[in-house]
Structure 1
Amino acid sequence: MFGISFSELLLVGLVALLVLGPERLPGAARTAGLWVGRLKRSFNAIKQEVEREIGADEIRRQLHNEHILSLEQEARKIFTPTQQEATPVQPVEPIAEQTIHAPAAEPAPVVAVEAPAPVVATPPVEPATPAAAPVAPAPHDPTLAPRAP
């Protein structure tokens, strides 16, 4: 513990035997042992108390840090710009026939023209809320059965 070797302990024991004598040496050794035991217990108690305080401080610090982190997360939620909800695009019904009229001065023949189906970019679908109306599938949806001509 203190770097004392066996030979040094033997030398201290011989000096104590010469100074105290054989009658008082056992009582002195017992008293010294009691004092050393009390010192060890005191140091261990102090050590445990310090470790408890350090542990309690560490726990308090962790709780404080967790509280600060939760406050930061709430602040981020409040201060980050919320993404604007995309308004759902209503699908445009394709025009099957379109009538072209000539000027009113001459009678003009009626010509039927089939317009191509418009391509509509649909935004990502968000989960529907109970108040939202169902959205009709796009005319080019590959999951639908093919239409008869």
Structure 2
Amino acid sequence: MLDFGFDKLALIGAVALIVIGPEKLPRVARTVGTLLGKAQRYVADVKAEVNRSIELEELQKMKTQFTAAVHDVEQSVRQEVDAATQALNPAWHDAAAGSGDAYAPPPVYHHPGKNWRLKRGATPLWFKQKAGVRRHTQSGAARVARFRPPRKP
């Protein structure tokens, strides 16, 4: 940027005093100061925006590096688990075959799906009564009549 010393600023002020005149000089100086302040704020905003964009790019790079590292760790853990499973399966089957069904692997769990009747039917009645689960369907009018306050005679 330009380097203005005290002598250069004094020379510019003297020329402005002669050219503009003493009556208009304070108003012009105020306007120039206001414009310089706006320019400085604009430059500061642009710098801040550039810094934010640079930080955002750095964060995105860090995110991709972190995601890649997580993926690598996941793959290595998965490979180790598969290798351990393959190493244990023959020993498991040999132990199960040698000593009967005492060491047989547990059965594979199959999710019952969305059969809500099966889920509700598996709950004991005493638990449903304690939890306040309705066992019989009631119409809206019957529900209103059930909870309506008693009439005064």
Which structure would you say has the larger RCO, counting Cα contacts within 8 Å and 6 or more residues apart? Answer: 1
Query: What TM-score results when the alignment is normalised by the length of structure 1?
Result: 0.50
More helix by share: 2
More strand by share: 1
